[in-house]
Structure 1
Amino acid sequence: MPRKRLVLFALFFLPVAAILTQCLSNKEIAATDPRGEDYTGAKTCISCHKNIDQSYIHTAHYLASSLPPDSSVHGSFFKGNDSVYYNDHAHIMMQKTDSGMYQASFINGQQVNRERIDLVTGGVKGETYLYWKENELFELPVSYDKTKSKWIVSPGFDTTIASYDRMVNLRCMECHASYAKTEPGKVASFSGESVGFDKSSVVLKIDCERCHGPGRQHAEYQFSNPDIKTAKYITRIQSLSQTQQTDLCGTCHSGTQTDNSRSIFEFKPGDKLADFKKRAASAGPPDLKHLDVHGDQLEMLKTSKCFSASKMNCSSCHDPHKKQHDEALYFAAKCETCHSNANHNLCKMTGKIDAAVLRSKCIDCHMPLLPSKAIVNEQQSVMIRTHHIGVYPDETSKILQYLKAKK
């Protein structure tokens, strides 16, 4: 090819190739999102952040809600392990068919009710299941306890007979999904006006834009400017103040006994939590007597000296993109960034027991698992790690006795 023609070809082809590349990249950006034109959806985020996604899929936030393929329903459907018995006359059997997984209730051997598992919520300590009736969501009477590897009567449900009428309200969805548009319920109710959801609007899981804010402008800019590695037009959590960060986490982790003036689905990073929800007067003061280890993590953290005497926030210890359950040494290392010889605030047990053992028990001693008053399984309180960082003499005594017995 003559040199002149080669130059002309290059001048023409390269710009066209660049345009085509940009167009192909922009196809990754979702056309619409139920939350509005400013949002782009997790699929767009994943196209650039695959490594983060591969880690995030194992977290509690990701497991907050999902559709029910076999992989997200962990209980057994095999005969002998597929039922929950209320008494000699009533039981629920878990059934799997070509049309889905069901919870069927029987009285004296006769089936009296049967509903399909349409959504799964949770996945760390256990799973609870929901079903659609018209445009309303209801909780199913059987849950799965992962700590005991067994089906159980759903927490708070009648333990004498199966019930299928516990409606799922907006407050539940606000913490178990990224979005759901409400509409008048279509199921007749004696308890007043019921809440329904537009099924096509539901965005499951806690997705990227729930915490980082609307991402369409960010995605369009980064796709159009692939050489610019600094993130534009998206909220970086580290750029928020301590209050802004804790307010963001507090949308779901500041308790359920609140008066909500606006839907949490409208909250964007940087907003003031007080503009959306406040602790209800009926809940009592925000002290340890009135707080529960389930859902009240932020309020419990605020009662801790570690919080009031520093600039710590939730992300000081947690990386929300990673599964961190039972990583005692990881969290102990976080404690050691403040508790050190230089700061003269080492644990009082330092030097009395082996350093490696002390580090491994740091969290169990100062943030132990405590019984929840809100979640009770089979008449036993679920044990959840408290976020009130403090001194627990009983826990210290248990650990010392355990260590002594090992010698």
Structure 2
Amino acid sequence: MQYYYYAVFFLILSSCIKKKPDYVGLTEVEKDIFVSTIQIPDSDFLGDKACVECHSKAFEEWQGSHHDKAMDKATDTTVLGDFEDAKFSSQGITSHFFKRDNAYYVNTEGPDGNYHDYRIEYTFGVEPLQQYIVKFPNGHYQCLRTAWDTKKNKWFDLYPDFKIVHTEWLHWSRGGLNWNNMCADCHSTNVRKNFNIKEQRYDTKYALINVSCEACHGPGKTHVERVSEFGEAYEVSGDLKMTSSLSSMELVDECARCHMRREQISEFYNFEGSMLDHYFPQLIAEPIYYPDGQILDEDYVYGSFIQSKMYHNGVSCNNCHDPHSLKLRFEGNTLCAQCHAPNIYDTPAHHFHPVDTESSKCINCHMTGKYYMGNDFRRDHSFRIPRPDQSMTYGTPNACVECHTDKDNEWAWRVYVDQYGNPKTKHFSDLLIPGLRGENDGLNKLIELAKDTIYPDIARASAVRGMVHYPANNVIDEMLTFLKDESPLVKGATLDALGEINASDYLNYFLPLLEDEKRSVRVKAFFALAPLDEDLVPEQYRIVYDKVKKEFETYLNVTSDFVGGQVKKADHLLKKGDLTGAIKGYEEALKIDNMNNIVRTNLANLYYRNGDFVDAETAFKTIIGQEPQYGPTYYSYGLLLAELNRIEEAIYQMDQAITLMPENLRVYYNLSLLYDKMNDLDNAEAIAVKGLKKNPQEESLLYILAYIYSKGNQPDKAKNIAQRLVELYPGNSNYRALYNQLNAPN
């Protein structure tokens, strides 16, 4: 569950703001940087019927599509599920679907743990499943966890193996399935979330209920007016968006607005600027992706596709998908044969399988997939060559053994080499995986990947982001070089990493990025600059700093109804030295999700840091009660108890921590110190020695062992350990002083 909550940080968000851009004091270049934040009036969106007269073919193709049916009012025409006194049970909860007074209802468990009747207000989606939305107080709309399988015509549980109690954020009646902030932005047109933080109230609005023509092509008012004015002389000149004039990468970015896992930067999408002025994509990291970039959790295609050679060779979404019907342009291998010569690739000489079978389809080797939301099979759009050798080394999946379930990776690799030879190119994952996992020479591999522009930007950005897990003194200088990278993804990832390290000595490196052309980069730069006293901002950046401050505040506001948004706000205050404000921010985050123990752990540590020991202890006990197998809590709780001089209790907690995370050497060090404080030198020595068996060169354990031997009147052992420290770390003056002290004549 710990990892699951990380997904919260990258979910889709939106809202609205009515203000005109203030360009006073900006240079002409800076005016170009700050794109408009003007909300488009709903009246500018004319609806699909205004399009059909001139664009009948496109309209007919779009009608009935997934975009058309993205959301609708619940009527006899739109509702596909069985509401004729049907019942469905899963995880101990029975939902009853029925009709009353020509309306659709469900009786199911609510947020209080009791059963209630809920009226179905809207349908959501059409195939392979349809969800249903009910209205809650304060403008909240919730999506039921039970959905209708439109292929098998039956009710099913979206998460059949995951028991969720009514108090959890993931319960259908709470944040995890809230329509306003989890769904609306991509299922309707011109959405404004309109969240009131103080009242915890939504007043969400949209111009059109579904993903209409204007959701992609922009508001039609000006376009229709210009067509009426110029007639046959009309030419497209900015009044329409997402036209054939876009490059392949520009088109992919336009589609990515909804087809990617991302965090939202702007308060709403108004067709101004680029994708990175409004959103920043989820990078390659577990548990969203396997560490080689293959899909694991839902990533909504974009993050996979930009890894692919196809994307980097000019292929875009509409080469495979009709932009209006969304259907594939061709069936079977004919789709791939648009670019890949069938006489070379669509033959047994290439795929080594019988012709015209499932095993001979290109997509089953190069686009493996996973089921999400119970029955929705989605394919990996990174279009990769299966690599059984990487599966052997890193434990990542491959298409060969997913199909040949009676075989293993060793067999698959032998066959691969026999049929194709060794891979001709190096995949970025051979550098990324060891780096993310902290393996030998992992940092250098991340640096190599991040520097080599032959690799996809998302992989390079993921490499930089992964550097944060290495000691700061080893990575900061390398990271700083990536602030000047041409890729905004790399710059954004670098700022995120440096912001997490809290490298306050390098603030001058961040200031120029306040003038970056991408809003997402500017906002991340502002967060990294949090330790800078606003009164000390250099004059040359004063105006742009104030402008980006407003963008950053908008970013915090639009994410304020998510745990991640509250945590970001709290972390910003913490970086500015406002410990009380940070504590309040974490408390607000727990109001959103009281089961989020990542947040509670951070809050407990802040209580501890602030001297609020009672609150800290209560928080640690709560975490242990909810997640008794989570080792770091015992460690932190042990430190608190040691601070309170409750040594025996602290020793017990540290023992638990070692049991649950035996590779964490810092626990051995602290436990050894605790035994020393009890004058139990035998146990202090035993724990230090036990830790050194994990890593014989761990300096903190060597140091405490030398101290214990010295204190226990074992001078020869103490001298030997001190000598090892000097040999291993010759530049450390403290170890040299210890050695000299132990060898000094009495």
Letter in 2 for 1:365: C
What residue is the counterpart of 2:22 in the other structure? none
What residue is the counterpart of 1:177 in the other structure? 188
* Secondary structure, counterpart of 1:262 in structure 2: coil
The Cα shift of 1:354 comes to 5.6
* Secondary structure, counterpart of 2:240 in structure 1: coil
Letter in 1 for 2:385: V
Match of 1:385 among 379, 391, 398: 379
Structure 1 pair 78–198 and aligned structure 2 pair: CA distance change class (3 A) = closer
C-alpha contact 2:148 2:156 (8 A) present in aligned 1: yes
- Between Structure 1 and Structure 2, the one with more helix by share is 2
Letter in 2 for 1:105: T
Structure 1 pair 46–295 and aligned structure 2 pair: CA distance change class (3 A) = farther
Q: Does 1:133 align with 2:133?
A: no
For 1:35-184, what aligned pairs fall within 5 Å after superposition?
Answer: 35-36=41-42, 38-79=44-85, 82-86=86-90, 90-105=93-108, 112-134=115-137, 135-155=139-159, 158=163, 164-166=173-175, 167-184=178-195
The Cα shift of 1:151 comes to 1.2
C-alpha contact 2:190 2:207 (8 A) present in aligned 1: yes
Quick one: distance in 1 between partners of 2:229 and 2:184? 35
Q: Does 1:252 align with 2:258?
A: yes
The Cα shift of 1:278 comes to 1.5
1:67-115 Cα distance to aligned partner (Å, 9 max, x none): 1122322222234xx1112477x521111122410111379xxx93011
The Cα shift of 1:141 comes to 3.8
The Cα shift of 1:284 comes to 5.9
Letter in 1 for 2:308: S
Quick one: distance in 2 between partners of 1:216 and 1:400? 55
- Between Structure 1 and Structure 2, the one with more strand by share is 1
Quick one: distance in 2 between partners of 1:193 and 1:267? 30
Letter in 2 for 1:131: V
**TM-score normalized by structure 2?**
0.41
1:97-150 Cα distance to aligned partner (Å, 9 max, x none): 22410111379xxx9301111111111221111122342212224221234421
C-alpha contact 2:88 2:156 (8 A) present in aligned 1: yes
C-alpha contact 2:72 2:123 (8 A) present in aligned 1: yes
Letter in 2 for 1:265: Y
Quick one: distance in 2 between partners of 1:60 and 1:353? 34
What residue is the counterpart of 2:685 in the other structure? none
The Cα shift of 1:64 comes to 1.5
Letter in 2 for 1:214: P
C-alpha contact 2:368 2:399 (8 A) present in aligned 1: yes
Match of 1:212 among 214, 217, 225: 217
Quick one: distance in 1 between partners of 2:145 and 2:353? 47
The Cα shift of 1:360 comes to 7.0
C-alpha contact 2:83 2:104 (8 A) present in aligned 1: no
Quick one: distance in 1 between partners of 2:355 and 2:321? 23
* Secondary structure, counterpart of 2:340 in structure 1: coil
1:311-367 Cα distance to aligned partner (Å, 9 max, x none): 111122111211526x7x43633321221179x666774485565448972223321
Structure 1 pair 359–105 and aligned structure 2 pair: CA distance change class (3 A) = closer
Structure 1 pair 173–371 and aligned structure 2 pair: CA distance change class (3 A) = same
For 1:171-320, what aligned pairs fall within 5 Å after superposition?
Answer: 171-184=182-195, 194-198=200-204, 201-228=206-233, 231=236, 233-255=239-261, 258-268=262-272, 271-279=273-281, 288-289=290-291, 291-292=295-296, 294-308=298-312, 310-320=313-323
C-alpha contact 2:347 2:355 (8 A) present in aligned 1: no
Structure 1 pair 83–160 and aligned structure 2 pair: CA distance change class (3 A) = farther
Quick one: distance in 1 between partners of 2:404 and 2:287? 34
1:238-276 Cα distance to aligned partner (Å, 9 max, x none): 211233211111111121xx33211453235xx321111
Quick one: distance in 2 between partners of 1:293 and 1:238? 32
> Identity across aligned pairs (percent)?
21
* Secondary structure, counterpart of 1:252 in structure 2: coil
Quick one: distance in 2 between partners of 1:99 and 1:351? 55
What residue is the counterpart of 1:332 in the other structure? 333
Quick one: distance in 1 between partners of 2:58 and 2:320? 18
Structure 1 pair 301–54 and aligned structure 2 pair: CA distance change class (3 A) = same
| Pair member with larger Rg | 2
Question: Structure 1 stretch 67-76 or stretch 363-372: which is displaced more?
Answer: 363-372
* Secondary structure, counterpart of 1:152 in structure 2: strand
Letter in 2 for 1:261: I
The Cα shift of 1:37 comes to 5.1
Letter in 1 for 2:140: E
C-alpha contact 1:262 1:275 (8 A) present in aligned 2: yes
The Cα shift of 1:205 comes to 1.1
Quick one: distance in 2 between partners of 1:398 and 1:331? 20
Match of 1:321 among 320, 324, 328: 324
1:289-311 Cα distance to aligned partner (Å, 9 max, x none): 36446343011012222323x11
Which blocks of at least 5 consecutive residues in structure 2 are unaligned? 1-38, 389-397, 406-746
Which of structures 1 and 2 has the larger relative contact order (alpha carbons within 8 angstroms, sep 6+)? 1
Question: Structure 1 stretch 148-157 or stretch 176-185: which is displaced more?
Answer: 148-157
C-alpha contact 2:45 2:207 (8 A) present in aligned 1: no
Letter in 1 for 2:100: T
1:34-74 Cα distance to aligned partner (Å, 9 max, x none): 73454333221123223322221222222221111223222
Which blocks of at least 5 consecutive residues in structure 1 are unaligned? 1-32, 186-190, 402-407
**TM-score normalized by structure 1?**
0.71
Quick one: distance in 2 between partners of 1:277 and 1:227? 38
Letter in 2 for 1:41: G
C-alpha contact 1:262 1:277 (8 A) present in aligned 2: yes
* Secondary structure, counterpart of 1:203 in structure 2: coil
Letter in 2 for 1:370: K
Quick one: distance in 1 between partners of 2:403 and 2:115? 50
Structure 1 pair 286–301 and aligned structure 2 pair: CA distance change class (3 A) = farther
Letter in 2 for 1:275: D
Letter in 2 for 1:332: N
C-alpha contact 1:218 1:234 (8 A) present in aligned 2: yes
Structure 1 pair 345–174 and aligned structure 2 pair: CA distance change class (3 A) = same
Letter in 2 for 1:179: N
Quick one: distance in 1 between partners of 2:207 and 2:56? 23
The Cα shift of 1:212 comes to 1.1
* Secondary structure, counterpart of 2:60 in structure 1: helix
